[in-house]
Amino acid sequence: MPSSLALDVDHVRSQFPGLSRGWTFFDNAGGSQICAPALARINTFLTEKNVQIGGTYEVSLAAAAAMLEARTAAMHLVNARRPEEIVFGASTTQLLQNLAKAMQGQLQPGDEIIVTVSDHESNIGPWDRLQAAGVVVRFWPLNKDTFTLDLADLAPLMSARTKMVCVTHVSNILGHINPVREIADFVHARGALLCVDAVAYAPHRLVDVQACDADYYVFSLYKTYGPHYAMMYGRYELLEGLDTLYHYFYARDKVPAKLEPGNACYELAYSVCGIVDYLSEVGRRAGASGDTRSLITAAFAAITAQENALTDRLLAWLGARNDCRIIGKRSNADGTRIPTIAFRFDGRDSGEVCRAMDHEKIAIRHGDFHSRRLAEYLGETGEGGMVRVSMVHYNRLEEVDHLTAAFERILGAATASTAA
């Protein structure tokens, strides 16, 4: 790894107060730890600017300026064109439900929306419910042999009535990065829009909504080193055309406020500034300089290198066992696998394995991870579902070794107990 891209892991870990509690956190796809700069921004807003925006007095003006700063930070984080393209909301699930509701005025009975069987339910359910209004929902299947979404399978599903294709940037089970730009080009050439769920991607790789040409792009801050909140990018001209979800006098030009009924949670939105502060410092310590976007880019280059090492270490151990079946691609040779890895041990209940790991103070998870349609499609719902280990850049290789040693103790003990 070039020194210019080296991650200062000691500094990184010092920025996450939750890591001092004695647990090894390998359930980051369920929710990462929050970084100290994000906490600081929340506290600053609540202690210095905690009033409603829209007033003429000094503190209200400061609160409004903080919200603009938050949208500007989010703009830099995802490389949007303008701050007004950022919509805040309670969660990715809520934002996608809001988007589906706000699109209804543009949809007629017989219009079509395509979703993938490999998505989290957040990017399926809101669109599926539009069938009650006469919208036709079609499922883009996953190739079970390659664990990929093939454009050859998408092509026959699209028609002149297709309005939107909804896809995940990374499945929270399979962990493989989908070629979103290639999909966007394909979808746009056929006159439809693209909505991307990036919850499992944004914590791990540089987001660039312009480069991937997404029309809507959504992810959760609580999985990206912030609090329990979320953000959505939408092309400004598309946001203008959506129905208002707020008061009737929030007209077409009230972007993005018309999509944030009751107003955004100011202090949680302001935390995005802290996430960007954190990533910028990571970029500086990796040897970068320049503007905010340049620092974020350098940070994710260093993050990617660290996470590839984590991914390779765990995949090597899992792949060497003859009693383990990895769900998804078994290697990361091309760097397109994030460190979210699902698997099963033969003859073992995944819930029992995870509960045994609790005693080791190692946090992992089992089940379908709210991607139930994919779990059912792959036949992976029985015996506690799948075990999932989801790492991020603040994890160390030594923690992976600690995890695998714990697995060996647990599996060995289970074998002895069964034999007895």
Inform me whether the pLDDT recorded for 420 exceeds 60.
Answer: no
Inform me whether the pLDDT recorded for 281 exceeds 90.
Answer: yes
pLDDT 10s digits, 100-129: 999 999 999 999 999 999 999 999 999 999
Q: Tell me how far apart the alpha carbons of residues 335 and 332 are, in angstroms, rounded to a whole number.
A: 5
Structure tokens at 362: 């190692």
pLDDT at 253: 81
pLDDT at 252: 76
Q: Do 361 and 25 meet the contact criterion of CB atoms below 8 Å apart?
A: no
Global confidence as pTM: 0.95
Inform me whether the pLDDT recorded for 417 exceeds 60.
Answer: no
pLDDT at 375: 96
Mean of pLDDT values over 86-103: 98
Q: What percent of the chain has pLDDT over 70?
A: 97
Q: How confident is the model at residue 169 (pLDDT cuts 50, 70, 90)?
A: very high
pLDDT at 2: 42
pLDDT at 6: 87
Q: How confident is the model at residue 1 (pLDDT cuts 50, 70, 90)?
A: very low
Q: List the single range of 251-260, 285-294, 324-333, 385-394 with lowest mean pLDDT.
A: 251-260
Q: How confident is the model at residue 413 (pLDDT cuts 50, 70, 90)?
A: low
pLDDT at 72: 98
Mean of pLDDT values over 138-165: 97
Inform me whether the pLDDT recorded for 133 exceeds 90.
Answer: yes
Please provide the average confidence, as pLDDT, over all residues in the chain.
95
pLDDT at 171: 98
Residues with Cβ within 8 Å of residue 144, at least 6 apart in sequence = 377, 378
User: How far does Cα 388 stand from its chain's mean position?
Assistant: 15
pLDDT at 416: 44
pLDDT 10s digits, 337-368: 999 999 999 999 999 999 999 999 999 999 99
Cis ω for the linkage preceding 37 (within 30 of 0): no
Domains with residue ranges and CATH for the chain: 9-33+295-409 (3.90.1150.10), 38-276 (3.40.640.10)
Mean of pLDDT values over 222-242: 98
pLDDT at 4: 53
Q: Tell me how far apart the alpha carbons of residues 72 and 51 are, in angstroms, rounded to a whole number.
A: 20
